[in-house]
Each structure stands twice: as C-alpha cells, then as structure tokens.
Amino acid sequence: MTTKSDLYDVIRKPIITEKATMASENGAVVFEVAMDANKPLIKQAVETLFGVKVKAVNTTITKGKVKKFRGQPGKRRDVKKAYVTLEEGNMIDVTTGL
C-alpha cells in the first residue's frame, strides 16, 4: 500500500493548455506525472487524492528537445503526461489548489 505522500509524488502538476482544455470538455483531465509511474498507480493516485472514479488512463511521453541555453547546447527534460478520463458525474477543478 502506498502512502498519501507517495501519491503526491506520482502526480506532479495539472497541465493547462488548449489541448488539455479541449480534453476536459470530454471529461478528461491532463496531469504531468512521474516518469516511472504506471497506469494503475496513476489511477489509484487520482482516485485517492481527488475522491473521484477514474474510467481510463492514457499516457504519453514527450522527449525533451535540444535547445540552446546562453549559447550552449542543452536538452530539455523528458515529460510524461497522463490523460485521465473520469466516470460520468465526476469532475476535478484544476484551476483551484489541491
């Protein structure tokens, strides 16, 4: 059994973009999650922390781009996103704090 503080480490922050807003119209919420988090762990974390029922979890990994930082080449970090679809009648307001 994972503790509540461990679940806070799984879900890093909500992602609020145009695409995430369009997904929220279909009952989905987008979170940035830890790279080693799997779908069952993400589902457990969302259900425990927000008190909602999760229907499905889809994940995607965005590889970091190579950019220049102060003229030196560098690489942005890789990001894992979780698209969490909620059961009918459940919702999470990501504009307020946790």
pLDDT for residue 27: 86
pLDDT for residue 76: 93
Report the predicted TM-score, pTM, of the whole model to 2 decimal places.
0.85
- Architecture, CATH, for domain 4-86: 2-Layer Sandwich (3.30)
Contacts 24+ apart (CB under 8 A), 94-97: 94/14, 94/16, 94/29, 95/16
**For the chain, which residues make up each domain, given as ranges?**
4-86
SS3 helix, strand, coil % of the chain, rounded to 5?
25, 35, 40
Kindly state the percentage of the chain with pLDDT values over 90. 62
Residues of the chain with pLDDT under 50: none
pLDDT for residue 97: 56
CB under 8 Å to 17, separation ≥6 — which residues? 30
